């Protein structure tokens, strides 16, 4: 089966000061995969996502989405930032945050209306947060906040989803709920790219994986490349992981 390339990264290099955080990354992500980006702390996993999305300005390199520059294809891409990146004491409700997912397609000045509200409610339903729609966001648990962020991305109805550690600090039931949604997205032909920390769950959750540690170590199907050799190359220690068949 020959898949289209959803995301193509060429020669991407990013530095904050002098030392590069990402060095010369070439990456092709085929359409319809559920991919984990793994690597130690400081490997540049979040930076990679942020650079692809244009939040950070790379020193060199280019990103294309379905063979067009990212800037032209923005509406095909949705982003779920790290939960800790915003102030949850902001005066707004769960529904309101999810509605923000519609702002991009609305463009400047135009306000969200009934149609957008309906879409947001549907997304809340999908993540099981409909009963909490009018809850002030600071009154939500960490797992619920993560679901809200996921719902906000779902509203965008994108083809490609980038998620920055969506399983961090969430309870077990939320983790299962989220992974089920991600698998449903893959089933619908979407491409999902997730920065992931828990190596034990990689074979269970994902079908594609990228090993990253400033440089790209390896990328490909989990069943082919998720092995001790690549783990050791990435983490620098003799890493033994039992791969579940």
When asked if residue 111 is in the footprint of another protein (CB under 8 A), the reply is: yes
DSSP lists the bridge partners of residue 220 as 209
Measured between alpha carbons, how far apart are the two ends of the chain, in Å?
22
Minimum separation from the CB atom of position 184 to another protein (A): 22
Residue with smaller CB distance to another protein, 73 or 213: 73
Of 28, 84, 106, 118, the residue at the interface with another protein (CB under 8 A) is 106
Candidates 179, 218, 226, 224; CA nearest to 200 is: 226
Residue where the block lists tokens 């269970």: 204
Minimum separation from the CB atom of position 50 to another protein (A): 7
Q: Which of residues 127-146 bind another protein (CB under 8 A)?
A: 136
Residues that contact another protein, how many (by CB under 8 A) = 30
Two tokens at 146? 């993560």
Q: What's the rounded Cα separation, in Å, for the pair 196 and 175?
A: 12
Residue with smaller CB distance to another protein, 53 or 130: 53
Minimum separation from the CB atom of position 128 to another protein (A): 20
Environment class of 126 (CB within 10 Å of its CB; exposed 0-12, middle 13-18, buried 19+): middle
When asked if residue 86 is in the footprint of another protein (CB under 8 A), the reply is: yes
Query: Nearest 5°: CA angle at 167, between 232 and 48?
Result: 60
Task: Give residues in contact with another protein (CB under 8 A).
Answer: 50, 53-55, 74-75, 77-79, 81, 85-87, 90-93, 97, 100, 103-104, 106-112, 136, 152
């Amino acid at each position: 089966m020959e898949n289209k390339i959803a995301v193509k990264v060429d020669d991407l290099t990013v530095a904050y000061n002098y030392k590069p955080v990402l060095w010369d990354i070439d990456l092709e992500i085929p359409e319809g995969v559920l991919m984990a980006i793994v690597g130690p702390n400081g490997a540049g996993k979040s930076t990679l996502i942020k650079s692809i999305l244009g939040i950070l300005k790379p020193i060199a390199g280019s990103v294309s989405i379905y063979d067009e520059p990212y800037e032209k294809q923005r509406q095909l891409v949705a982003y779920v930032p790290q939960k800790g990146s915003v102030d949850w004491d902001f005066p707004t409700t769960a529904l309101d945050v999810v509605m923000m997912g519609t702002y991009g397609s609305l463009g400047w000045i135009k306000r969200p209306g009934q149609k957008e509200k309906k879409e947001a409610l549907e997304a809340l339903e999908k993540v099981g947060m409909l009963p909490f729609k009018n809850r002030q966001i600071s009154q939500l648990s960490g797992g619920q906040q993560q679901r809200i962020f996921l719902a906000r991305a779902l509203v965008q109805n994108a083809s490609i989803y980038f998620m920055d550690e969506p399983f961090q600090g969430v309870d077990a039931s939320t983790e299962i709920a989220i992974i089920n949604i991600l698998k449903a997205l893959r089933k619908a032909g979407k491409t999902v790219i997730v920065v992931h920390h828990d190596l034990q769950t990689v074979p269970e959750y994902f079908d594609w994986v990228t090993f990253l540690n400033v440089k790209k170590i390896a990328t490909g199907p989990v069943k082919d490349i998720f092995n001790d050799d690549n783990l050791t190359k990435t983490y620098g220690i003799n890493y033994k992981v039992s791969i579940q068949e």
